[in-house]
């Protein structure tokens, strides 16, 4: 739909009719661009211009379509028409799209194209951190490509001055925003498949039940991955706040072991817990301590031999409360230990597809222990298996105590 309130198309070198391929200036190739305009002719011209420069282009003609694309892709460039949709619906403008792009592609170059007064739109654009506002009136291909190239260069220089730490924070924030967007549909998938499995929506055949269970498991795994990433992102950016209180660590561990009893029994694994003879009180944030214990117990059960054994103990040593979890699995090499304590790395191959983890669990456990003033150790004794020790500061400290539970 071409609107009478926007710039009329011209002739020759005017952006409305000029040849994009023959007139375009040099732009960096290999970028990904979002073009949002409900005029298919104008959007098509921008697509041809950018694709002719080796830029991948995605086109949307509405706010809803643009928001969906912004949630699915990380964009380097966003060219957004200010007025989208019928004139009698002014509330939904290109600035809504700019906000969505900033949420998922915070390092993108965002430019708003308008046929209205630059000053009017610019005042609104400042609020959503739009990089530039370009008037369509009399705009030529040459002027447009030159402006776009200059804007990209300014952005590159700014990013260089800010340094790699800033860029890393931008990428992490972008991933965190995408993760938040994915949580709701995954929760919905889990609820619907659980309703199918329970028979609430009708009976299922054996194969259908197996398929629904597989979908539910994969949705749960995806949600766990997202939650793990968000936890790690909060820790890395120091936005996790501890709310510590005095807790009996031995009692917490007993509850944790109890929650794994059924799963261990299904695998034929016995969990043996030792009870200490001295107080094991520490000042900890209880939810975060449980978040640290979960991946430790998950890994012990995952890698333990069929009909194997897991030994869990608590002791007090060097003014610390030490939680120790040992499994009789295949053990780990020294380089594997270093790998599993870094994000997104594997120490080895999981025993089955159902036992896959997120690759972030032990990293999160280590960071949580460090937030509590402790640390995490992983070792493999010569007789096999793997031992994980989580050290927490004892409260109050007991001098000279070295008691094994």
Q: Which domain holds residue 156?
A: 20-162
Regarding whether 196 and 80 lie in a shared domain, the answer is no
* Residues 245, 284 contacting (CB under 8 angstroms): yes
Strands 386-393 and 375-379: antiparallel
Does pTM top 0.85 for this prediction? no
Strands 281-284 and 270-273: unpaired
Q: DSSP assignment of 238-304, as one string?
A: T------EEEEHHHHHHHHHHHTHHHHHHTT-EEEEPPPSS--EEEE-HHHHHHHHHHHHHHHHHHS
- Residues with Cβ < 8 Å from 41, sequence gap 6 or more? 2, 16
- Which CA distances in Å does 294 have to 360, 391, 395? 12, 15, 23
- Residues with Cβ < 8 Å from 403, sequence gap 6 or more? 276, 277, 278, 315, 316, 317
Domain boundary among 162, 196, 215: 162
- What is the distance between the alpha carbons of residues 154 and 230, in angstroms, rounded to a whole number? 31
Regarding whether 91 and 46 lie in a shared domain, the answer is yes
Domain boundary among 214, 236, 258: 236
Rounded to a whole number, what is the distance in angstroms from the first to the last CA of the chain?
A: 76
| Residues paired with residue 314 on neighbouring β-strands, in sequence order | 323
Regarding whether 78 and 178 lie in a shared domain, the answer is no
Other residues' Cβ atoms within 10 Å of the Cβ of residue 76: 19
Domain boundary among 201, 217, 236: 236
Regarding whether 328 and 264 lie in a shared domain, the answer is yes
Regarding whether 254 and 230 lie in a shared domain, the answer is no
* Residue carrying the six token digits 């209180």: 245
* Residue carrying the six token digits 């926007």: 6
Mean pLDDT by 10 residues, the chain (405 residues): 36 43 63 91 91 91 87 87 66 78 84 71 67 81 87 80 59 63 82 87 87 82 71 65 87 90 86 89 88 86 89 92 92 72 52 42 82 86 84 73 48
Regarding whether 394 and 253 lie in a shared domain, the answer is yes
pLDDT of residue 33: 93
Q: How many domains does the chain have?
A: 3
Regarding whether 341 and 263 lie in a shared domain, the answer is yes
Answer yes or no: is 145 within a domain. Answer: yes
Phi and psi angles of residue 11, each rounded to the nearest 5 degrees, phi first: -135, 170
């Amino acid at each position: 739909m071409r609107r009478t309130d926007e710039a009329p198309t011209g002739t020759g070198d005017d952006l409305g009719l000029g040849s994009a391929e023959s007139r375009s200036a040099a732009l960096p190739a290999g970028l990904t661009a979002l073009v949002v305009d409900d005029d298919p002719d104008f959007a098509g011209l921008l697509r041809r211009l950018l694709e002719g420069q080796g830029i991948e282009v995605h086109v949307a003609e509405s706010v809803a379509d643009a928001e969906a694309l912004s949630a699915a892709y990380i964009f380097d460039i966003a060219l957004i028409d200010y007025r989208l949709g019928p004139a009698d619906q002014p509330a939904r403008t290109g600035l809504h799209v700019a906000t969505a792009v900033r949420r998922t592609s915070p390092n993108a170059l965002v430019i708003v194209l308008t046929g209205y007064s630059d000053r009017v739109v610019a005042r609104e654009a400042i609020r959503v951190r739009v990089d530039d506002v370009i008037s369509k009136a009399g705009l030529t291909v040459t002027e447009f490509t030159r402006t776009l190239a200059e804007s990209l260069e300014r952005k590159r220089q700014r990013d260089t001055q800010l340094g790699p730490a800033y860029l890393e924070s931008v990428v992490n924030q972008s991933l965190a925003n995408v993760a938040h967007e994915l949580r709701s549909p995954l929760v919905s998938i889990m609820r619907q498949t659980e309703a199918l499995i329970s028979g609430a929506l009708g009976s299922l055949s054996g194969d259908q039940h197996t398929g629904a269970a597989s979908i539910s498991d994969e949705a749960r795994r995806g949600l766990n991955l997202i939650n793990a990433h968000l936890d790690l992102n909060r820790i890395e950016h120091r936005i996790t706040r501890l709310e510590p209180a005095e807790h009996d660590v031995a009692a917490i561990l007993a509850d944790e072991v109890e929650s794994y009893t059924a799963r261990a029994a299904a695998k034929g694994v016995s969990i043996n817990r030792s009870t200490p003879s001295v107080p094991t009180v520490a000042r900890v944030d209880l939810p975060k301590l449980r978040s640290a214990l979960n991946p430790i117990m998950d890994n012990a059960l995952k890698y333990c031999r069929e009909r194997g054994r897991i030994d869990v103990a608590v002791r007090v040593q060097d003014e610390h409360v030490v939680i120790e979890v040992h499994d009789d699995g295949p053990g780990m090499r020294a380089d594997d230990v270093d790998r599993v304590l870094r994000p997104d790395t594997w120490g080895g191959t999981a025993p089955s597809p159902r036992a896959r983890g997120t690759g972030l669990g032990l990293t999160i456990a280590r960071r949580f222990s460090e937030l509590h003033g402790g640390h995490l150790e992983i070792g493999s004794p010569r007789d096999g298996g793997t031992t994980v020790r989580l050290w927490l500061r004892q409260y109050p400290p007991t001098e000279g105590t070295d008691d094994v539970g």
